[in-house]
Amino acid sequence: MPTAFITGVTGQDGAYLSRLLLNKGYKVVGLVRSNSSQNLYRLRYLGILDKLEMVECDLKDLSQVIKVIMAYNPDEIYNLAAQSSVALSFQQPIGTLDFNINSVTNLLEAIRILDKKIKFYQASTSEMFGRVDELPITENTHVHPLSPYAISKITGHHICINYRESYGIFASSGILFNHESYLRSNGFFMKKLMRGALDIQHGKKEILEFGNLDIKRDFGYSEKYVEAMWMMLQYKEGDDFIISSGKSVFLRDIVKYVFKKCGIPENKIIINQSLFRPTEIKDIYGTNQKARELLNWNYDMDFFNVLDKLLEEEAANYEKG
């Protein structure tokens, strides 16, 4: 039975990836920070909390990382833990850079010291590209990051490439575009929209405030995107892969669609300039051609069907309280 470490196991992707690996017969060990007990709801929601082993490990402390790898001898490590919010990274730039860069470095350094056969997955992001001149984004597009989060992730991405090229470590980066699910964290656009629309529908809120809605993003479905993470580590060698839907949609059109489905008039949408970010990507979408051709990863979900699915699950759980 192969053993997989997942950092960020309590997050959206960590929960779906855990379920996928358990179904494939892996022993899954979740590396968690010491105060994470309040965040186990996603694993509980998927009914897998008692099927994982949880180990406390401060990823910023190399000696702890070395100890936990020596204790479990993992075959694969999926590094999903991160301060993952662009907006929060403007409030907490130093904490974001500190954690998101040092955690990757410690994990790869521990692999280099202990066992170079351990395969490593790094959660990179489309945010790294930032200001782009040419679309669609490919694995070779020039990067111009526009937030502390993006800078931390591009650094993690290059550390991953550097350990692959310098030491022959099987290190892969999944450059994932936005992906959503019912388990998305609260501060994010899609979750705010779904919860907020239901709150208005149930008379608990009058209006919903947003920042800039005149920007476009490439959205997909988390459960499907985590399959690509596993596929990357089963490929013949470490590499970088874009995981995207291939199309971008205006945030304004998404809000209008959800409001219409909930029977809410558009005058309940308020644009609040204070929610605009200091710098913002206008439009971004990527091609998933490499992942399709080399990994056999296929994504054919229509975005508005994904929205229907998210709203349905949100509404079903809203009723339960």
Assign residue 195 a region (left: φ > 0; alpha: ψ between -120 and 50; beta: otherwise).
alpha
**Neighbouring-strand partners of residue 286:** 137
* CA 31 from centroid of its chain's CA atoms: 16
Residues 127, 180, 223, 314: which is the catalytic one? 127
Between CA 79 and CA 73 the distance in angstroms is: 16
Cα four-point dihedral sign 157, 161, 167, 170: positive
Q: Which amino acid type is present at position 164?
A: R
Is residue 155 among the annotated active site residues?
no
Where in 109-128 is the site for ligand NAP (CB under 6 A)? 123, 125
Q: Write each residue from 24 to 53 as x if it is in contact with ligand NAP (CB under 6 A), else as -, in one continuous string.
A: ---------x--x--x--------------
Which member of 84, 96, 102, 105 binds ligand NAP (CB under 6 A)? Answer: 84
By CB under 6 A, is residue 96 in contact with ligand NAP? Answer: no
What single-letter DSSP state applies at residue 143? Answer: P
30 vs 74, beta carbon nearer ligand NAP: 30
By CB under 6 A, is residue 105 in contact with ligand NAP? Answer: no
Shortest separation between residue 207's beta carbon and ligand NAP, angstroms: 26
Which member of 14, 145, 196, 286 binds ligand NAP (CB under 6 A)? Answer: 14
Is residue 223 among the annotated active site residues?
no
Q: 250: helix, coil or strand?
A: strand
By CB under 6 A, is residue 89 in contact with ligand NAP? Answer: no
Q: Write each residue from 139 to 178 as x if it is in contact with ligand NAP (CB under 6 A), else as -, in one continuous string.
A: -------------------------------------x-x
Where in 196-215 is the site for ligand NAP (CB under 6 A)? none
The number of beta carbons lying within 10 Å of the beta carbon of residue 73 is: 10
Between CA 114 and CA 129 the distance in angstroms is: 33
3-state SS of 263-278 is CCCHHHEEECHHHCCC
By CB under 6 A, is residue 286 in contact with ligand NAP? Answer: no
Question: φ, ψ for residue 100 (rounded to 5)?
Answer: -65, -25
Question: φ, ψ for residue 302 (rounded to 5)?
Answer: -75, 135
119 vs 200, beta carbon nearer ligand NAP: 119
Is residue 287 among the annotated active site residues?
no
Positions touching ligand NAP (CB under 6 A) are 8, 10-14, 33, 36, 39, 59, 80-84, 99, 123, 125, 176, 178-179, 185
| Residues involved in catalysis | 125, 127, 149
